[in-house]
Chains A and B, each alone.
Chain A
Amino acid sequence: MKKSCLIVTLLLCLTILPGCVEKKVIDDVNIATGIGIDKSEKQFLGSIMIPVFKPDKSFGNFTFKAKGKVIRDLVSEMQKKASQPIVSGSLDIALFGEDVAREGLINTLDVFLRDPSVGARVQLAVVNGKAIDIFKGKYGDRGNAQYLTQLLEHNMEQQNLPLTNLHRFLAAFYQKGMDPYLPMLKKSSRNLVTISGLALFKDEKLVDILHENKMYYFKLLVDHHTLGVVKVKEAHGESTVKSIGLKKNIRLKGRNPYTFSIKIKLKGDLTEHQERILEKGEIREIENKLAQQISKECKMLIEEFQRKNIDPVGFGHFAKTRTRNFDYKKWNEEYKNAKFEVSADVKLIGHGVVE
């Protein structure tokens, strides 16, 4: 009796429950790899990029476009045009037009947040111009979305772009005393896209754009580890330094006004020097010069943030973790008057043979 009950239950499970799962066979769906949101008058203009797999194993790109006031509505509008369902589980990158970003991203991101198939490591970026223009080009031979994500990822890993993705953006957004930032993309030619800077947000709205020259110093401030290249100029000429190790120490020194001390300890390689031969003591000189340069630039950056009342480094959050009965309301005022001491120590551990 018991056994037959078990068998009946199993059979029921086997026959009835498979209907509960939705099948998405890979060649029967349109796999959305990139999504772009722009503003068109008062509506959103959405574009979804689908890679087209050609029989000779090369990629093509196809973009669905639709207008609408709600993002979900855009998607269903696009489904009407698609022969196979558009699925978003493999989304690589989401691009936002600058005008959309200035009005706030969180409504759009909420759609991603509520879709469990969208990963947390989706790359987000703001486009200098229209997102749809970027989708129009053809970049690389692995499809546009792959090209754009790889462009961002390798710059984050090895160059001056600070690490961002959907998860980091939302974490910074929901964290009080911290503001998110995103990379800024610009279409430079028909088949090239460049990183033109960093979009700095106040809560969900874009308020300032950091020039790409300053990204190195910004990355020093916000990231734990950094591999980036910086240019130094001293009496003997210009040289480039690739940082290979970073130790950063932020301390809260006083609370009235809030005083932060930021110590940056950098290890780097001298990758290039204008003159072929270094003179005696020149290494020390480059080190000192770079240290000065870093502390000066970082201080300027922070002061700029204070003026714009944005806090991408998260000083507010940092102060809160070290202060009893911390009050965010007061903090907004206190942030403007906060003092920052930035000191840097640079050590060049490699020169001569580099990389």
Chain B
Amino acid sequence: MIKKNFPNGANMANLFKSVKRLLKRKFTLDEQKDHQSGPEKREHRKDQAEDWEKELTKSKDYQKSYYFNQKSGKKFTLTYLSTLVEEKVMDNNAVPPLLEGEFHHIDDVKKLLPLADVELSSSFKDIPEKLLKGSVMLTLEGDKVFAFISSPKQIVRSVSAPEIEFSVVGPKEAFVEPIDQNINMIRKRLPLKELIIEQFIVGKLSLTKVCVLYIEGVTNKEIINTVKQRISDLDKDEIADSSYFTQMISDNGNSPFPQLLDTERPDRVSSSLVEGKVVILVDGSPHALIGPTSLTEFFNSFEDYFLNWILATFIRLIRLFSVIFSIMVTPLYVAVVTYHYQMIPKDLLITLVTSRRVVPFPPILEVLFLEVTIELLREAGARLPTKVGQTIGIVGGIVLGTASVEAGLTSNVLLILIALAALASFTTPVYQMSNTIRILRFPFLIMAELWGLVGITIAFCFLLTHLLRLTSLGLPFMEPIFPLRLRDFKDALFRLPFKSQAKRPQYLRTDDPIRFSKKKANKKKDIDE
């Protein structure tokens, strides 16, 4: 399992506050004054020293070991949480010099230890916080000051290939849970002093590190401020994943549409940064959030950029078609079969009627039955381990499908349509959006059943109005379709060649709209020229 390690840069005030609440301690102002005050209140101070240990001693990983220095014969203790501290470093690098060196006074620690991060302190309030961050507390007999030796345990997962946004060509690295590792991956791709990484601590109990990344001089300041303000306004006890942020800081929390793009690809993140977007990284989450986004971006796979622009555009248009198809095909089936028999071509009529005739249900029940079956299969497949999941696919797809047609519960035409719709919905590259598409067809189905094509039109109007009202970090979600910005089509529904991508997207209102010189990009230097 992965343990979070809190480095020293954490926001002290916040940390302290939270720890205080965690330990249910009542530090009053008076008591704090006592820390600095003279020996007359030593009694009180001793109480406190025992107090901070009270909760920690209950934990099994709390370690306190006693040692004697061989030279001075002084007794010293090392206190730490074994799960957070790299014990190898302690045993090899810290303990031997302390045992053998000239250790008379606590100040000698700095000389004795080869470890860089040694801090002296006399304040009790620091103790739990430091211990929880992976420091070892060193106390010397008869000394009021104690030393903190920082040696946090680094449990790091190796970088693996992206699973959700897999691409055949292109880089094969995906984010992992520790935030430092993720930042490292981005920094490596963008060695820029202008790449700013601002850190926030969110979550009263989880104290999760959240980083906001942007390139200064490119990203619009207003967007940065919006993100920063929204993050600092957050009030929650625990942040488990970056998807919490998608829900909490997006403009409309009641929309089924995700308004921040989540990605596990460092290449996608760095190219978004270059475009002038803001990226949010959350410690413990292998997904970065990109904002502001627009609807079309959710149907763009990052692989599009690795392919020739003609292929990429073709694939994007296929995705767009498949999304519309996936949402619309079953509602259209219901509407046409229930109300608009006139629309069916005569040659198709016989296929539809003969397959429908044996079905005892009205079209809507038939469709709902199959749609729910498909959703069940998906959900069951998602909850089960991969190997069992395949079995589910076979059971669901082949056995249930053919059996339900043979039993006369559904018509085989509909079965084909449902299967196609499910297949089409898988083409959406962003998982969050494909979930949205799953759910969108149900209101359409109901409206189709109630009013036929008129109902579908009404539902579509509602959907369109909702999409037009949506914003992502204050910027229109439907851009470039509405507001119509023809120039931004270069990388929305289409993916035009790189030489026409010389400018940053208009809607981001970047501080520096020009990415590179178009003239130079167009010039092709040949060796014989």
Contact = CB atoms under 8 A, between A and B. Distances in A.
Interface of A: 14, 17-18, 21, 23-27, 29, 31, 33, 51, 53-55, 57, 59, 87, 89-90, 92, 117, 119, 142-143, 145-146
Contacts, number: 67
Contacts of A87: 341
A145 B347 CA distance: 12
Interface stretch (B9-17, B35-43, B269-277, B350-358): B350-358
B452 interface: yes
B338 A53 contact: no
A25 B363 contact: yes
B337 interface: yes
A17 B356 contact: no
Interface of B: 337-339, 341-342, 344, 346-347, 349-354, 356-357, 359, 362-363, 450-452, 454
Contact of B357 (A23, A53, A119, A143): A53
A18 B339 contact: no
B354 A57 contact: yes
B451 A31 contact: no
A21 B454 CA distance: 10
Contact of B451 (A21, A54, A119): A21
What are the 8 A-B residue pairs with the smallest beta carbon separation, nearest first? A89-B342, A18-B450, A27-B356, A53-B353, A26-B341, A27-B357, A53-B350, A53-B354
Given A57-B351, A59-B350, A142-B346, A29 B451 contact: no
A155 to B, nearest CB: 18
B339, B352, B454, most chain A CB atoms within 10 A: B339
Nearest to B452: A21
A109 to B, nearest CB: 19
A26 B451 contact: no
Given A21-B452, A92-B346, A31 B341 contact: yes
Name which of A25, A27, A29, A145 has the most chain B CB atoms within 10 A of its CB: A27
Nearest to B458: A13
Contact of A24 (B341, B351, B357, B450): B341
16 contacts: A21-B451, A24-B338, A24-B341, A26-B337, A26-B341, A29-B341, A31-B349, A33-B346, A53-B353, A89-B341, A89-B342, A90-B349, A92-B346, A142-B346, A143-B346, A145-B346
A253 to B, nearest CB: 47
B351 to A, nearest CB: 7
A21 B339 contact: yes
Nearest to A18: B450
Contacts of B452: 21
Contact of A117 (B342, B363, B450): B342
A90 B451 contact: no
B342 A26 contact: no
A57 B350 CA distance: 6
B63 to A, nearest CB: 58
A166 to B, nearest CB: 14
